Amino acid sequence: MMTNILRQSIVKFCYSFALLTCALLPIHSLQAAEIITTLPPLSSLVHWLDPKASVQCLLSASADPHHFQLTPKQVESIQKATLLIRSSRDDGQWARLQTSGITWDIWASQSSMSHEPDKHHEHHHEQGNHAWLSPHDVALILPQLADHLIHVYPNHSQAIRQRLQAADIQVKQIEKQWQDVTLSLQLHEKGTIMQHPAWLTLFQDLNIPVWTVLESDKHGQEHGPHVLENALQVIQAHPHSLLIADKRHSQQALSWLQHHHTESHMVILDALGKSDETWPELMQRNLKILQAL
């Protein structure tokens, strides 16, 4: 008899505890995210303009974007999302990226605007991989992002527009910081050799020579003996080049080059970052890596 009473008491307690837990959970954790992004830096841009937005990033912190496959649960989340934000130049290999809501491709929209003259850049700017790493491109992306966020969250309109104004100023400040640090490191004379083209656009915007990029436009493609032979000739011609590796790519080829030319230095930058940080945090964290040279 006592056993049955005890069992019933335990069941009632567990049921009450479960109800209390659900009541205390944030509403957004029980619902599908209204905004889905394919890559962490796209979430970073959203968090920057609207910290209250409900955002889910498909790529986890440890996943390889070049060999990524969606799970059935992620496919379901995409289909229910109000807004899907992607960059087709960087996630073009991903399948099943379809939603009943709006799909915004930052690369396609930015490419359509890249022909417009830029008063702040004297040289020709070519929009390429990882547009979020270029302050020039981010300055063009942000107003479009703000419009999309206001469409999803009309009640956040005033706050988003205020953050957009502040963000525009911060973009210029961060670009100036990168200019100052790269000048102090004399990279305009030394130049760089890159493992991956992620940072290519930014360094071109800063008028820093990029002597060669080991990885081709086909992301994740291994480099053969011919590429390494050419890279060796390049570093022999520019022995003080800064070797720029990427956190999510193999650094073996650059380590091999550095072994042949100990005068060169290598840094490992993080082009994708974390989905819970803002864009300024991503850019300044990478800048500190350069400053530590």
Q: Over the stretch 173-192, which tens digit does the pLDDT of each residue have?
A: 999 999 999 999 999 999 99
Tell me how crowded residue 165 is: count the other CB atoms within 10 A of its CB.
10
Res 173: pLDDT: 97
Predicted local confidence at residue 121, as pLDDT: 41
Which residue would you say has higher pLDDT here, 67 or 2?
67
* Cβ neighbours, 10 Å, residue 103: 16
- DSSP per-residue letters across 66-79: GG----HHHHHHHH
pLDDT in tens, 270-293: 999 998 899 999 999 999 999 998
Query: In whole angstroms, what is the distance from residue 171 CA to residue 279 CA?
Result: 9
Q: What average pLDDT does the chain have?
A: 82
pLDDT of 66: 76
What is the token pair recorded at 69? 């496959």
Instruction: Please name the amino acid found at residue 194.
Output: M
Q: Which amino acid is at 212?
A: T
Q: Is 213 left (phi over 0), alpha (psi -120 to 50) or beta?
A: beta
**Rounded-to-integer distance, Cα 138 and Cα 131, Å:** 7
- The more confidently predicted of residues 122 and 9 is 9
Model confidence at 161: pLDDT above 60: yes
CB 85 within 8 A of CB 38: yes
- Alpha helix (H) residue ranges in 191-265: 200-205, 225-237, 252-260
Q: Specify whether the backbone of 62 is left (phi greater than 0), alpha (psi in -120 to 50) or beta.
A: alpha
Q: How confident is the model at residue 216 (pLDDT cuts 50, 70, 90)?
A: low
pTM, full prediction: 0.80
In this structure, is the dihedral angle defined by the CA atoms of residues 155, 159, 165 and 170, taken in order, positive or negative?
A: negative
Task: Identify the structural domains of the chain with CATH numbers, from first to last.
Answer: 32-176 (3.40.50.1980), 178-291 (3.40.50.1980)
In degrees and rounded to multiples of 5, residue 243 shows phi and psi of: -90, 120
Task: Provide, rounded to the nearest whole percent, the portion of the chain with pLDDT above 70.
Answer: 79
**Considering Cα of 257, then 260, then 261, then 262, what sign does the dihedral take?**
positive
Residue whose C-alpha is closest to residue 273's, from 103, 45, 91, 81: 45
pLDDT of residue 69: 86
3-state secondary structure of 103: strand
Percent of the chain with pLDDT over 90: 54
